[in-house]
């Protein structure tokens, strides 16, 4: 073969390899599997809610330890986080959501934290978003979310603390906090509003895990309530488990056992009775809470 042609082929191959590597240059730091639960099964005051979460953990623990999964568990589901969540977007047009972004604020113990998240079924698109923050100590993570029956979506997100005096009322506020949004050419003069006029009270029950081999998976049960309507009837209930490795070094045993557990959550009789039928995800619930918000 002509030496010039050979060199050209090698150069092209190296270029393609370089592009491939750079397109996936952000490792998946965690994989989280999520199942929506029947909200009516968690209705009640704080004490009743805790009791029902405990009942679910008993059922889940029994499946993990005594079914075909046969893995060890540790801990139990106890209240770990009690905080408020607000999503912001442009009313009527929902510019952020329609561009696959989620912008939310969490308030816990008087401290404010904002998160910008970009979600896509295409990993290569998600990794190419500029998610840098502007506040000191901002943190980014790239993760895979897996919904039933086994639907993957990748999310690239950055969280950062903001002062109590910081306003979040114009599109230039999220753009100022996340300069990468300038690439989307949003109209920064537009007002942003509380999505669905909804303030969410979130309760997260954690401190339980399952041994998957090289990695443990952390289990969480999350309940969301409309702050202004009820603190006893949740609008969303979700069970999830996730495992983490910043270098994306997930062994075959870990991912196979995780998939088996996810299948059990959907098929084991004692767990299926807890599952929701045709429920919306947490984010979709917020955006559809007021059906006119995005019209």
Instruction: Determine the pLDDT at residue 37.
Output: 98
Residue 270 inside a domain? The answer is: yes
3-state SS string over the chain?
CCHHHHHHHHHHHHHHHHHHHHHCCCCCCEEEEEEEECHHHHCCCHHHHHHHHHHHHHHHHHHHHHCCCCCCEEEEEEEEEEEEEEEEECCCCCHHHHCCEEEEEEEECCEEEEEEEEEECCHHHHHCCCCCCCCCCCEEEEEEEEECCCEEEEEEEEEEEECCCCCCCECHHHHHHCHHHHHHCCCCCCECEEHHHCCEEEEEEEEEEEECCCCEEEEEEEEEEECCCCCCCCCEEEEEEEEECCCCCCCHHHHHHHHHHHHHHHHCHHHHCCECCCCCCHHHHHHHHCCCCCC
Q: In this structure, is residue 219 part of a structural domain?
A: yes
Residue 18 located in a structural domain: no
In a domain, 10, yes or no: no
pLDDT of residue 24: 52
Sign of CA dihedral 51, 52, 53, 56: positive
Q: Say how many domains are in the chain.
A: 1
Cα-to-chain-centroid distance, residue 289? 19
Residue 273 lies in a domain: yes
Domain range enclosing 227: 30-289
Output the domain CATH number for residue 156.
Answer: 2.40.320.10
Query: What is the structure's pLDDT at 231?
Result: 81
- pLDDT in the model for residue 12: 43
The confidence score (pLDDT) of residue 52 equals: 98
What is the pLDDT at residue 19?
37
Q: Does residue 63 lie within any of the structural domains?
A: yes
pLDDT number for residue 278:
83
Query: Per-residue confidence of the chain (295 residues) as pLDDT tens digits?
Result: 555 544 544 444 444 433 333 445 799 999 999 999 999 999 999 999 999 999 999 999 999 999 889 999 999 999 999 999 999 999 999 999 999 999 999 999 999 999 999 999 999 999 999 999 999 999 999 999 999 999 999 999 999 999 999 999 999 999 999 999 999 999 999 999 999 999 999 999 999 999 999 999 999 999 999 999 988 999 999 999 999 999 999 999 999 999 999 999 999 999 999 999 988 999 999 999 999 999 8
47, part of any domain: yes
In a domain, 222, yes or no: yes
């Amino acid at each position: 073969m002509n030496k010039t042609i050979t060199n050209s082929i090698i150069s092209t191959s190296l270029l393609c390899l370089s592009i491939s590597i750079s397109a996936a240059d952000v490792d998946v730091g965690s994989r989280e599997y999520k199942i929506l639960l029947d909200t009516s099964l968690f209705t009640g005051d704080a004490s009743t809610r805790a009791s029902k979460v405990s009942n679910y953990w008993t059922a889940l623990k029994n499946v993990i330890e005594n079914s075909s999964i046969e893995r060890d568990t540790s801990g139990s589901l106890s209240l770990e986080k009690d905080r408020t969540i607000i999503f912001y977007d442009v009313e009527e047009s929902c510019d952020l959501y329609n561009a696959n972004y989620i912008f939310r604020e969490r308030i816990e113990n008087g401290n404010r934290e904002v998160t910008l998240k970009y979600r896509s079924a295409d990993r290569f698109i998600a990794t190419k978003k500029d998610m840098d923050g502007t506040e000191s100590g901002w943190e980014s993570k790239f993760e895979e979310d897996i919904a039933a029956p086994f639907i993957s979506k990748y999310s690239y997100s950055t969280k950062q603390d903001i002062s109590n005096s910081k306003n979040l009322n114009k599109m230039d506020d999220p753009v100022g906090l996340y300069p990468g949004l300038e690439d989307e050419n949003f109209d920064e003069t537009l007002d942003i509003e509380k999505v669905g006029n909804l303030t969410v009270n979130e309760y997260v029950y954690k401190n339980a895990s399952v041994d998957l081999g090289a990695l443990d998976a952390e289990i969480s049960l999350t309940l969301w309530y409309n702050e202004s309507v009820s603190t006893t009837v949740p609008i969303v209930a979700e069970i999830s488990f996730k495992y983490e490795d910043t270098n994306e070094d997930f062994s075959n045993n870990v991912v196979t056992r995780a998939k088996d557990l996810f299948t059990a959550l959907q098929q084991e009789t004692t767990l299926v009775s807890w599952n929701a039928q045709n429920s919306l995800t947490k984010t979709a619930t917020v955006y559809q809470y007021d059906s006119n918000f995005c019209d």
